[in-house]
Amino acid sequence: SQQGEEDPQALSIQEGENATMNCSYKTSINNLQWYRQNSGRGLVHLILIRSNEREKHSGRLRVTLDTSKKSSSLLITASRAADTASYFCATDVGSGSRLTFGEGTQLTVNP
């Protein structure tokens, strides 16, 4: 079964707005990662946050991790039409780098 659950399942916003996606998981983790997938193609790694970190930034991306609540959020600021994609969280429980993916959020940014 999937480790992670994401919400919302779908999000539609206007260009320039911020987009927030949430991920919850069930077991203790080594790290949590966010990936983007455009139109059923390969995934692109966005950011990794370790279990002892609470917040991380990369460009327009901000990721938070709350291990007490077993949840993470991905914030994309000043969104662009090119950000339209599916976003997945993935957890690594420290067992040979095997990842368990959440259900994903489909983000649509309207120009």
Partner 1 sequence: SAVISQKPSRDICQRGTSLTIQCQVDSQVTMMFWYRQQPGQSLTLIATANQGSEATYESGFVIDKFPISRPNLTFSTLTVSNLSPEDSSIYLCSVGKGLTQETQYFGPGTRLLVL
| Smallest separation (angstroms) from partner 1 to the CB of 33 | 7
Of the candidates 86, 95, 96, the residue with the CA atom closest to the CA atom of residue 19: 86
C-beta closer to partner 1: residue 15 or 22: 22
Residues 32-91 that bind partner 1 (CB under 8 A): 33, 35, 40-45, 48, 88, 90
Q: Report whether 83 contacts 109 (CB < 8 A).
A: yes
Q: Do 72 and 22 form a contact (C-beta atoms < 8 A)?
A: yes
The yes or no reply on residue 101 touching partner 1 (CB under 8 A) is yes
**Which residues share a beta bridge with 107?**
11, 85
Which positions lie near partner 1, rule CB under 8 A?
A: 2, 30-31, 33, 35, 40-45, 48, 88, 90, 92, 96-104
